[in-house]
Chains A and B, each alone.
Chain A
């Protein structure tokens, strides 16, 4: 398991954080996601053998946001 932080510059409210955290339920290999609108970032803890950075960025994009690895 590794923990990575992604900057999400286009969050507009705290609901965006909730939307991003819902990836916990759909993205395989994710243990926990903590997104913060105040900090415009998402901290994701995941199994790197099951999930790649590219897949995370793509999943975030599907939710309507841009993710940049911090």
Chain B
């Protein structure tokens, strides 16, 4: 049988296993993240749900390649030793170190590696979320954390673009004794080695993973932190598996291209997170608040506000799954009034209502009305309100 024929034959199981892993990953994520099956914490907040979906999509689009660039060598090294050992057993006179890509028996070690990695990162997510619960005591702390995470993501993206040497410090270098230990462990030849190495990858996370770890810290919940890391690592697994199996190492050109792509996605995610933090902080300089002030559209215009000034001394704000309506309210200055927050089967994070300037935070009922006393404000001032994640925002303009 020629070499070409051999290669052709070995690709079939590769594709089957790869597709299998993709489908299993998708099925698992749908099962785990399905609102009806989740814990109460997850099911009551579609904000959390969308956060998990974003984590999964980030994993499947950029995380897998980014992780592979950092951890792929480790896996390849482990596989190379293992396969070499197999090969030496079959033919003592020949050496084969590099050709790990098309050997069918390399699928199982990669699978073990990824399973161990998934379990380890899920536990790490739980730990980070639990640690974060001590940091997220108030929306203000959460805002500060989101801003820090956003800056970290942007810094990492700029590092990938090689903008300035200073951005290299956004990459965390693991201690030498850990990298040395991992490297030497990679020489093992038993099935335990890829399993152990998969778990050890928590010590050498890639830039995207580090950003996701920071996000898990920001969730302030062990359950959500674990779910977030699970969704992300699950997302990375199919790509990691396919590419690791087929090539074990990306070509230099391809790696450069993927790193650019990863950097762009990380940059966007960084700005979104930073903007969310600014929203929760009640900053007029967040993208949403700034654009609303500079370019008031019809839907968000203050001119729509008088419609809700039906009752004297009261304003009504509809809190819906897709945000606050109207997004811009007009209120009389120098006069206290009551803001009625009306929910009707609202399950999104819009329920976590925050008015940063008043230090007001309330988890609204999914259906009902909550009244907030707004003290008198100066003419021309603006009071920003937001959900606790900084996704949905709005404002009250005092005239």
Contacts and interface: CB of A to CB of B under 8 A. Distances in A.
Interface of A: 12-15, 17-19, 21-22, 24-25, 34, 36-38, 40, 64
Interface of B: 69-71, 73, 77, 160, 162, 165, 168-169, 171-174, 176, 179-180, 182-184, 204, 206-207, 252, 259
Contact of B207 (A13, A25, A40, A64): A13
A15 B176 contact: no
A15 B183 contact: no
Given A12-B162, A15-B70, 8 more contacts: A12-B259, A14-B204, A15-B71, A19-B73, A21-B176, A21-B183, A24-B180, A40-B168
Smallest CB-CB A-B distances: 7 pairs? A15-B70, A14-B173, A18-B179, A38-B168, A14-B171, A22-B183, A38-B169
16 contacts: A13-B69, A13-B70, A13-B171, A13-B206, A14-B70, A15-B71, A15-B204, A17-B179, A18-B179, A18-B204, A19-B73, A21-B176, A21-B179, A21-B183, A22-B77, A38-B171
B179 A37 contact: no
Contacts of A64: 252
A43 to B, nearest CB: 11
| Chain B binding surface SS class | helix
A40 B165 CA distance: 9
A38 B176 CA distance: 13
Nearest to A64: B252
Contacts of A14: 70, 171-174, 204
Contact of A37 (B171, B176, B182, B183): B171
Nearest to A36: B173
Contacts of A21: 176, 179-180, 183
A25 B183 contact: yes
A37 B204 contact: no
A17 B172 CA distance: 12
A40 B168 CA distance: 9
A62 B41 CA distance: 51
A44 to B, nearest CB: 14
A38 B173 contact: yes
Contacts of A17: 173, 179
Nearest to B184: A25
Contacts of B162: 12
A34 B204 CA distance: 16
A69 to B, nearest CB: 20
Contacts of A38: 168-169, 171, 173
Contacts of A12: 160, 162, 259
A18 B183 contact: yes
B69 A15 contact: yes
Nearest to A17: B173
A18 B171 CA distance: 14
B72 to A, nearest CB: 9
A16 to B, nearest CB: 9
Nearest to A34: B176
Nearest to A14: B173
A21 B174 CA distance: 13
Contacts of B206: 13, 15
A34 B175 CA distance: 11
Contacts of B176: 21, 34
